């Protein structure tokens, strides 16, 4: 059997965590998290991390490995995961990766070009320019420095425009010149499993989970992080709505309403993202046996062809 990475994808609250742990127990293997927020050790309740028992049952990687003050990126994730896998495949022929961060997942599936980390001062400067003067000046500069990228960026999207610029300004080269979509050859196989629920049911689960987070003390957790609210890691559903409440912009009921709504929106974006993978095979999160059978059948097929 060739080394195999089974990726469990699906929108938030679709049951990825529980299912992955059951699968990991079945195969006696380990789990790599693919979740941009569960990496931060300062956040727990609002990111729906696996609980202590779950973490003790199965060993998880890339959870609590960062501080909210740290720099991180999809490229670093790709480096971290490929490094980890090299090591883990010595112990297991099958590894599970679970999580909802589409871009990170994509960095593993399709690879991601090697682009230098941006200079943090340049990043800050661009943000300040944007806040002060808006997008027009930045767009004009981007058109100069990288006409090819300028031609296809979404010019309404400040994040995209600033990203292009920060690379141009940091490296002295055009952003486009780095974005070559270099094909990757992984020395392992990937099986993509998507979890799917009727929309209505998914939304119910989301609403319920938010209520549970509140019961577990999300407000307290957010309160502790409030002084750092400007950090990007804290620009996260469940936290920023509470920060607004602390600022007196909303009351508690409204904050909860918004957390639920924004989580639903987030789930929808994840579903849309996953649609880009025609090879993704969808299952109901309760379909444990079907999933096992499906994966076994694929692996058996590969074994035969070897």
Sites of contact with RNA (CB under 7 A): 12, 35-38, 46-48, 71-76, 100-104, 106, 112-118, 123, 154, 156-160, 163, 178-182, 199, 203, 231-233, 235-238, 258, 261-266, 268-273, 275-276
Residues in contact with 205: Cβ distance below 8 Å, sequence separation at least 6, in sequence order: 13, 14, 15, 197
Task: Indicate the residue among 30 and 35 with the shorter CB distance to RNA.
Answer: 35
> 262: number of CA atoms within 13 Å, CB side?
16
Task: Indicate the residue among 140 and 180 with the shorter CB distance to RNA.
Answer: 180
CA-nearest of 205, 212, 211, 238 to 223 is: 238
Task: Indicate the residue among 26 and 61 with the shorter CB distance to RNA.
Answer: 61
Smallest distance, RNA to C-beta of residue 185, A? 15
3-state secondary structure at position 237: coil
Neighbour-count burial of 131, counting CB atoms closer than 10 A to its CB (0-12 exposed, 13-18 middle, 19+ buried): exposed
Smallest distance, RNA to C-beta of residue 206, A? 9
Task: Indicate the residue among 4 and 101 with the shorter CB distance to RNA.
Answer: 101
Six token digits for residue 282: 């969808």
Smallest distance, RNA to C-beta of residue 46, A? 6
Task: Indicate the residue among 95 and 259 with the shorter CB distance to RNA.
Answer: 259
Smallest distance, RNA to C-beta of residue 87, A? 22
Smallest distance, RNA to C-beta of residue 238, A? 5
* Beta strand residue intervals within 222-305, DSSP E: 281-283
CB 96 within 8 A of CB 192: no
């Amino acid at each position: 059997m060739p080394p195999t990475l089974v990726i469990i994808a699906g929108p938030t609250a679709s049951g990825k965590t529980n299912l992955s742990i059951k699968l990991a127990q079945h195969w006696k293997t380990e789990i790599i998290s693919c979740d941009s927020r569960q990496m931060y050790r300062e956040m727990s309740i609002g990111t729906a991390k696996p609980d202590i028992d779950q973490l003790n049952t199965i060993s998880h990687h890339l959870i609590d490995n960062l501080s909210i003050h740290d720099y991180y990126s999809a490229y670093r994730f790709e480096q971290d995961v490929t490094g980890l896998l090299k090591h883990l495949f010595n112990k297991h022929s099958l590894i599970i990766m679970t999580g909802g961060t589409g871009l990170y997942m994509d960095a593993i599936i399709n690879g991601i070009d090697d682009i230098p980390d941006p200079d943090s001062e340049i990043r800050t400067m661009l943000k300040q320019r944007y806040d002060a003067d808006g997008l027009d000046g930045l767009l004009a500069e981007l058109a100069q420095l990288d006409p090819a990228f300028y031609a296809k960026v979404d010019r309404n999207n400040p994040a995209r425009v600033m990203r292009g610029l920060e690379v141009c300004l940091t490296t002295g080269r055009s952003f486009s010149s780095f974005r070559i979509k270099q094909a990757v050859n992984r020395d392992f196989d990937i099986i993509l499993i998507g979890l799917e629920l009727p929309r209505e049911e998914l939304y119910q689960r989301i609403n319920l989970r938010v209520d549970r987070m509140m019961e577990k003390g999300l407000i307290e957790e957010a309160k502790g992080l409030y002084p750092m609210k400007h950090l990007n890691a804290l620009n996260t559903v469940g936290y920023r709505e509470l920060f607004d409440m602390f600022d007196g912009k909303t009351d508690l009921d409204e904050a909860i309403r918004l957390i639920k709504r924004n989580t639903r929106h987030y789930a929808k974006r994840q579903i849309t993202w996953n649609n880009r993978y025609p090879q993704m095979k969808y299952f109901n999160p309760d379909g444990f046996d079907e999933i096992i059978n499906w994966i076994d059948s694929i692996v058996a097929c590969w074994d035969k062809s070897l």
